[in-house]
Amino acid sequence: MLGIINGEVYDPQNGINGQVRDIWIEDGKTVSGESVDRAGAEIIDAAGLVVMPGGVDIHSHIVGAKVNAGRKFRPEDHRDHVRSRTAVTRSGSGYTVPSTFLTGYGYAEMGYTTVMEAATAPLVARHTHEELEDTPMLDKGAFITMGNNHFIMKCIRDGQREKARHYVAWLLGATKGYAIKIVNPGGVENWKWGQNVGELDDEVIGFGVTPRQIITTLAWINDELGLPHLPHIHGINLGQSGNARTTVETIEALEGRRAHFCHLQFLSYGGEPGKRVRSGAAELARAVNEHPNITVDIGQVIFGEATTMTSDGPLQYRLHRLTGNKWLNDDVEGETGGGVVPIQYKRSNPINAVQWLIGLELFLLIDDPWRVFLTTDHPNAGPFFCYPQVIKLLMDRDYRAEMLLGIHRRARRSALLAELDREYSLYEIAIVTRAGTARALGLRNKGHLGVGADADVTIYRKLDDKEAMFTEPYLVLKDGQIVVRDGRIVREHQGRTLYVAPPYDPGIEADLRTHFEECYTISFDNYPVAPEYLSRSEVIPCA
Amino acid sequence: MRVENVVCPFCGCLCDDIVAEVEDNRITAVKEVCSSGRSFFLNARTEATRPTVDGKEVEWPEGIDAAARILTDSACPLIYGLSSTASEAQRKAVALADVLGASIDSTSSVCHGPTTIGIQNQGEPTCTLGEIKHRADLVVFWGCNPAEAHMRHFARYSVSARGKLTPQGRRDRTVVVVDVRPTASSRKADFFLQVRPGSDYEVLTALRALLKDETLDVTDVGGVSVAQLADLLERMKGCRFGVIFFGMGVTQTGGKHLNIAELLALVAELNAYTRFTAMAMRGHGNVAGADCVLTWQTGYPFAVNFARGYPQYNPGEFTAVDMLGRQEADAALIIASDPIAHFPRRAADQLRRIPTIVLDPEVNLTAQEAQVVLPTAIYGVSAAGTAYRMDNVPLPLKRVVDSPQPTDEQVLDWIIERVKTCSA
């Protein structure tokens, strides 16, 4: 039994906004204070401290083939960013693409206890799980890319939605995945022909289906299967001027079905295609405000080093041509593709400055904090350990104004941001970093401190400088045990892998065997990730 | 008993359609397998073998003790090999290196290490083998000889494989071989470009120059006429989906990583005209896995040193041949590899001088000279595990027969525990 007493608690899921509450923990869960034997309990006196549930990241590229390719080809990223082994921790290296142990430690030291890997190609899901096993401290899951999957596109072409539904259910179970991920639907397949899609009704070469059909079918499947999370969408035209229009069209194409749009910043660009980028934040914020079926995360740009990595093959090639930086591409048979390109975001670069502005404008213009979440699309827009800087930008308009002075003049002149004086409260920060993300992910035991929650708790010192406050928590508890003290790991902890296993009709396996023989270079039987790959796991139930 | 869809862990192809017949815990027959794979499966040892210390048979705890003592007594231990073991064991090997403050290196450093350095300079446009099977209509093999080294590569992935856009297999593809001499592979090619030894860099640079519409004021480059190069380049620009597979003929000849950077630059630039990719022909069954595991645990794929408490990367300094050649490594743990049989004399001599521990199913040349020999089960035959194909697709290795031997992973775990208690 453990008690965290006298703390100023921010637990938005339970409507607690800074009131002093005691939190009681037993066997890794929060329990009711009524039946507690306080005499025998270990007590943490949190008087004057801020208590929140552990942070929950809804979108971050932390493990798997693409991330590892990024690590492998960026030794220059690691050399000056190392961590020595200690009695309780492993060593490692890396800044924007840290090694697995460093990723786990870095998140935990920032008060985060659950992180979702944002994109795994099903064919290499086994790799993702091997790396997740070496990512300590965190509960974690993996989103499975499906927006360019041949089997699904064939089902859509042949009008076999039911078959696609059973396939998706099978695929999630086979890959031990958590959610449906859609990346540039149809565009990645077209990239295998050196092309892309630009409109929702463009055709996918060789399949005769459209991005619109792929998105609406997968959104329908998501609802039918009752998956805990929403279809997680990275739309078409990411990173291109004028994509605000196609992003709004994508939101409208869902016709009220629920969906999550990730790193919206990269998809909120005004202006004309091929011309100068302008902020489309106002347009997108309006669309999000008007569509209660939509949640978003931002992908806030952090000035400095980043490594772009997405399944969006044509985008990564464009970035390579644009920047001249080195380029990795990896097309995956019958499923998806991907690429990696290092990048630097500079205050003095007018495009980067506009990207930075758009993220903040979206944060401040979207009304409902339960539908907008803090991410940097790590490491695409910046590294995850810069979240405290973003929190400070959201909570402190003077700091924002000061930062605004430092960015490129042209971007500053047009900035809507100068007029936005909203400041996030601690309660709202708790929503956009844990309560809201946990809710959107369908994780009922996370993001709150009510009875029965996983005892993942972060205790912060209350500081005026919010960046300092959120950089170095006083204590972090994972599964009820103290794992971080004063921002340093004191105990290594193996978290769970969270996945879904929706039921499917085993009758589709015959079709799948044929599909594998026609489409893959590995056999059907060697494809699924066996349960032995997950040393500690939890199946999150479907509705 | 018949076991299907067995993954052959012998080479980087990781063919996963092998059928094994098992009687009395012995593999009696294998089908759908090349001659290397056949001999690998049929000669796999399954009988019990005990560890040895200084040539004398001992019980396992004694063997582990001796190994841990050698490693903890060492000021500069080296862990080497890794390419023929499973990723589960590779993960433990890196953990051990971290605990010891050791150097760790894989056989990559003497095969495709320069490829990695080339990629770090230039990037890498690549794909999985299925994309080549289904799409590639131009296949170039440069400095490699899959007909003899990756025997089912042509049939399963690259040449005669029938795919969606290549329904007629071989007839739907143009095959080009570039090498310094005719090989079994070049005899299967539509075009063979014989380059002068050591001139790959010049030839690749000439292709890049031609791609940029430069005029070359020579008639031949590296023994190949400019007309032939121009013809090859037109085929490259005009194909639907092209690939260059490259081997040690490019990575280990003069210029090394510069050759690879040049090759990858050419491939990247061809994407302005069509889709073009490149892939290293990885040799050992899980050498790609060694790169992957080292990278995700340390940030670097080979040549890593933990002496300062954190991983440092420096090929040429922390690579096994160099650590031994400079007589810096004063103890070695060799996992699933036979460096004494393959290393340069100076490095091999140092291995003979220093206390060495070998984890291997076979008593190889290195094991014959080692102080401690820890005979382990064979991944893919008598132990389950994971291996990464040459395109980094991970596959599950099966336990086809039982073995009384522990796995590399188990033994490394024991050593780590023992080292921790020794140090404490």
User: What pLDDT is attached to residue B126?
Assistant: 98
Tokens 């790193």 found at? A263
Instruction: Report pLDDT digits (tens) over B110-122.
Output: 999 999 999 999 9
pTM: 0.98
Q: In terms of CA atoms, which chain B residue is nearest residue A524?
A: B5
Sign of CA dihedral B407, B409, B414, B415: positive
Task: State the CATH architecture for B49-111+285-423.
Answer: 3-Layer(aba) Sandwich (3.40)
Low pLDDT (below 70) residues in chain B: none
Residue of B nearest to A85 (CA): B309
Residue A275: inside a domain:
yes
B150 to chain A, any CB pair closer than 8 A? The answer is no
Q: Do B125 and A74 touch (CB under 8 A)?
A: no
Tell which of B126, B296, B386, B391 to mutate to test the A interface (max A CBs under 10 Å).
B296
Asked if A333 lies within 8 A of B129 by C-beta distance, the reply is: yes
H or E element that contains A513: helix A509-519
Asked, for residue A98, whether it belongs to a domain, the answer is yes
The pair of three-digit structure tokens given for residue B417, joined into one six-digit string: 């525990």
* Residue numbers in A near B289 (CB within 8 A): none
Element (H, E) at A373: strand A372-373
Say how far apart CA B270 and CA B278 lie, in whole Å.
11
Q: Does residue A149 lie in a domain region? A: yes
| Backbone region of residue A124 per phi and psi (left: phi > 0; alpha: psi in -120 to 50; beta: other values) | alpha
Calpha distance A316→A239 (Å, rounded): 10
Tokens of A470: 């959120």
| Contact (Cβ atoms closer than 8 angstroms) between residue A226 and residue A500 | no
Cα A400 to Cα A142, A360, A463, distances in angstroms? 34, 9, 18
Q: Note whether A519 contacts B: Cβ–Cβ < 8 A.
A: yes
Nearest CB partner across the interface for A525, out of B5, B268, B297: B5
**CATH of segment(s) B113-280:** 3.40.228.10
Cα gap B26→B320, rounded to integer Å: 36
Q: What is the CATH number of the domain that holds A179?
A: 3.20.20.140
Asked if A92 is an interface residue toward chain B (Cβ–Cβ < 8 A), one would say yes
Asked if residue A525 is part of any domain, the answer here is no
pLDDT at A208: 97
Which member of A68, A194, A519 has the closest CB to residue B296? Answer: A68
Q: Tell me which H or E stretch contains A510.
A: helix A509-519
Pairing relationship of beta strands A372-373 and A294-297 according to DSSP bridges: parallel
Q: Are A202 and A234 in contact (CB under 8 A)?
A: no
Most A CBs within 10 Å, among B135, B150, B295, to test the A interface: B295
Q: Cα–Cα distance between B317 and B109 in angstroms, integer? A: 11
Burial A87-98 (b: 16+ CB within 10 A, else e): eebbbbbbbbbb
A75 to B300: CB separation less than 8 angstroms, yes or no: yes
DSSP string, A305-369: EEEEEES-HHHHHHHHHHH---EEEEEBTTTB--EEEEEEE-TTSHHHHHHHHHHHHHHHH---G
Interstrand relation of B174-179 and B191-194 (parallel, antiparallel or unpaired): parallel
Q: How far apart are CA A53 and CA B255, in angstroms?
A: 55
CA nearest to B289 within chain A: A127
Per CB-CB distance under 8 Å, the chain B contacts of A320 are: 123, 268
Provide the pLDDT for residue A35.
Answer: 76
A124 touches chain B (CB under 8 A): yes
Q: Could you tell me the residue range of the domain that residue A481 belongs to?
A: 51-498
Question: What residue of B is the nearest CA neighbor of A129?
Answer: B394
The whole-angstrom separation of Cα B406 and Cα B413 is 11
pLDDT score of A38:
81
pLDDT (0 to 100) of residue A33: 86
Residues of A whose CB is below 8 A from B98: 85, 90-91
Which residues from chain B sit within 8 angstroms of residue A309, using beta carbons? none
Instruction: Say what the pLDDT of residue A456 is.
Output: 98
B271 in contact with A, Cβ within 8 Å: yes
**Shortest alpha-carbon distance between residue B298 and chain A (Å):** 5
Given a contact cutoff of 8 angstroms between Cβ atoms, the answer to whether A455 and A477 are in contact is: yes
Q: Which of A124, A134, A522 sits opposite B296 (nearest CB)?
A: A134
Contacts with B274 from chain A: Cβ below 8 Å: 194
Q: A24 lies in a domain?
A: no
Closest Cα of chain A to B70: distance in Å? 22
Residue B155: Cβ within 10 Å count: 15
- ipTM of the complex, rounded to two decimals: 0.98
Cα separations in angstroms, B355 against A383, A494, B373, B418: 44, 35, 11, 18
Q: Can you tell me the distance from the alpha carbon of A189 to that of A501, in angstroms, rounded to the nearest whole number? A: 27
Q: Is the CB of A99 less than 8 angstroms away from the CB of B156?
A: no
Collapsed DSSP state (helix, strand, coil) of residue B418: helix
* Binary contact (A73, B119; C-beta < 8 A): yes
Please return the burial class of B61, using the count of CB atoms within 10 Å of its CB with bins 0-12, 13-18 and 19+: exposed
**Chain B 23-82, CB below 8 Å of chain A: which residues?**
none
Q: Which of residues 203-242 of B touch A (CB under 8 A)?
A: 240-241
Q: φ, ψ for residue A289 (rounded to 5)? A: -60, -35
**Inter-chain contact B274–A194, Cβ cutoff 8 Å?**
yes
Pick from B384, B400, B298: which is nearest to A126 by CA? B384
* Domain regions of chain B by residue span: 49-111+285-423, 113-280
What one-character DSSP code corresponds to residue B318? S
Q: Chain B partners of A520 at a C-beta cutoff of 8 Å? A: 130
Record: contact A333-B299, CB cut-off 8 A: no
Nearest CA in chain B to A92: B298
Cβ atoms of A308 and A342 closer than 8 Å: yes
Distance from C-alpha of B411 to C-alpha of B95, rounded to nearest angstrom? 13
Closest CA to A222 of A441, A529, A443, A61: A441
- With beta carbons under 8 A apart, name residues in chain B contacting A98: 299
Residue A117 lies in a domain: yes
- Is A91 within 8 Å of B98 when comparing Cβ atoms? yes
- By Cβ distance, the residue of A83, A317, A518 closest to B310 is A83
Q: Which two tokens stand for residue B310?
A: 């954190």
Q: Which helix (H) or strand (E) holds B60?
A: helix B60-73
**Can you spell out the DSSP letters for A408-441?**
-HHHHHT-GGGG------HHHHHIIIIIHHHHHH
* A277 min Cα distance to partner chain B (Å): 24
Which residues 152-211 of B have a C-beta within 8 angstroms of A? 156-157, 164
Calpha distance B334→B339 (Å, rounded):
8
Which DSSP category does B379 fall into? B
d(CA A334, CA A163): 17
CA quadruple B390, B396, B402, B404: dihedral, nearest 10: 70
Q: Which one-letter amino acid corresponds to residue A504?
A: Y
Omega before residue A273 within 30° of 0, cis: no
List of chain A residues whose C-beta atoms are within 8 Å of the C-beta of residue B302? none
Query: Are the C-beta atoms of B81 and B107 separated by less than 8 Å?
Result: yes
Out of B275, B296, B301, the one facing A100 most closely (by C-beta) is B296
| A129–chain B Cβ distance below 8 A for any pair | no
Rounded distance between C-alpha atoms, residue B7 and residue B107, angstroms: 21
Answer yes or no: are the C-beta atoms of B402 and B367 closer than 8 Å.
no
pLDDT reported for residue A36: 79
Give contacts of B160 with chain A, Cβ < 8 Å.
none
Q: Are A378 and A405 in contact (CB under 8 A)?
A: no
Contacts of A323 (CB under 8 A, 6+ apart): A341, A343
The tens place of each residue's pLDDT in chain A, 543 residues long, gives 999 999 999 999 999 999 999 999 999 999 998 877 788 899 999 999 999 999 999 999 999 999 999 999 999 999 999 999 999 999 999 999 999 999 999 999 999 999 999 999 999 999 999 999 999 999 999 999 999 999 999 999 999 999 999 999 999 999 999 999 999 999 999 999 999 999 999 999 999 999 999 999 999 999 999 999 999 999 999 999 999 999 999 999 999 999 999 999 999 999 998 899 999 999 999 999 999 999 999 999 999 999 999 999 999 999 999 999 999 999 999 999 999 999 999 999 999 999 999 999 999 999 999 999 999 999 999 999 999 999 999 999 999 999 999 999 999 998 899 999 999 999 999 999 999 999 999 999 999 999 999 999 999 999 999 999 999 999 999 999 999 999 999 999 999 999 999 999 999 999 999 999 999 999 999 999 999 999 999 999 999
Look up residue A388 and give its two tokens: 């405290």
Q: Provide the domain count of chain A.
A: 1
> What confidence score (pLDDT) does residue B95 get?
98
- Full strand arrangement of the beta sheet holding B191-194: B191-194, B174-179, B138-142, B241-246, B275-280
Per-residue DSSP letters for A273-308? TTS--EE-HHHHHHHHHH-TTEEEE-----SEEEEE
d(CA B225, CA B237): 19
User: Which of residues 337 through 366 in chain A touch B, CB cutoff 8 A?
Assistant: 337, 340-341
